Amino acid sequence: MLVIGKLDCWVKTKLLKAYCSSFYGSELWDLGNGNINALCTAWRQALRRVWKLPYNSHKIIIDVLSDSLPIFDLLCKRSLMFATSCLFSDNNLVKFVSHNAVFYDRMRSCMGRNVQLCCERFCMTLADATSSLFSVRATDGMCRDKVEDDVIRNVERIIELVMIRDNMLQLSSNVFSLTDIRDVISFYVQIDCVFVCF
């Protein structure tokens, strides 16, 4: 029998992503609904627990540390992929209804609201998001490019400290106790982070 508690944080993160992030049907969710925020909060709490981080860890640090897009960005990406596939569907009825929802009904339709929200979230125009040349995979780069270099450096420090905390690395001396290591991790995960666009 597999004991999850004995696994390292990276394996636990992979398991969490593999078994808890399918979100079937999320392409049709209204991304402006307050329950989406509750889902994102629960996801970050799960990642905090996997990494054994304090409750006040900054969400950007958690996402970078777990090598994943923020869950809201993932949901936006899925919604945008769905809208794009409908706009360029071979079925004329699907194409007509989605075109009407995105370009005419806009905020009165769930799809229109979602596309508008995604455009704002990823700092792009409606024309760019609905172009046949647009690649939804480019949003991954857009999200990752917004992370400041200081955040990346802090995450690199945190990774080393987590490895020391979990006995994957050893210090050359016993100057620091496990409590000291945890305190330093707590300091680094709370540092304010700045995004360019969001």
Q: What is the pLDDT of residues 67-94, one digit of tens each?
A: 888 999 999 999 999 999 999 999 999 9
The answer as to whether 56 is a domain residue is yes
Mean pLDDT of the chain: 87
On whether both 49 and 83 belong to a single domain, the answer is yes
Q: Is the pLDDT assigned to residue 191 strictly greater than 90? A: no
Q: Residue 50 — very low, low, confident or very high, per pLDDT cuts 50/70/90?
A: very high
Specify the residue for token string 């690199």: 156
The parent domain of residue 174 ranges over 149-188
What's phi and psi for 140, nearest 5 deg?
-60, -50
Which of 112, 127, 145 is the last residue before a domain boundary? 145
Q: What pLDDT is attached to residue 197? A: 40
- Look at 101 and 190; give whichever has higher pLDDT: 101
Q: What pLDDT is attached to residue 130? A: 85
On whether both 140 and 153 belong to a single domain, the answer is no
Q: Residue 45 — very low, low, confident or very high, per pLDDT cuts 50/70/90?
A: very high
The answer as to whether 194 is a domain residue is no
Q: What is the pTM of this model?
A: 0.85
Q: Letter for the amino acid at 112? A: G
Radius of gyration for the alpha carbons in the chain, expressed in angstroms and rounded:
20
Q: What percentage of the chain has pLDDT greater than the value 90?
A: 51
On whether both 132 and 160 belong to a single domain, the answer is no
CA distance 7 to 20: 17
Q: Residue 2 — very low, low, confident or very high, per pLDDT cuts 50/70/90?
A: low
Of 103, 125, 127, 124, which Cα lies nearest the Cα of 113?
103
Counting the structural domains of the chain, the total is 2
Q: What percentage of the chain has pLDDT greater than the value 70?
A: 93
Q: What pLDDT is attached to residue 160? A: 92
Q: Is the pLDDT assigned to residue 143 strictly greater than 90? A: no
On whether both 153 and 137 belong to a single domain, the answer is no
If DSSP codes are grouped into helix, strand and coil, which group holds residue 56?
Answer: coil
Of 185, 138, 184, 134, which Cα lies nearest the Cα of 126?
134
On whether both 29 and 71 belong to a single domain, the answer is yes
On whether both 141 and 154 belong to a single domain, the answer is no
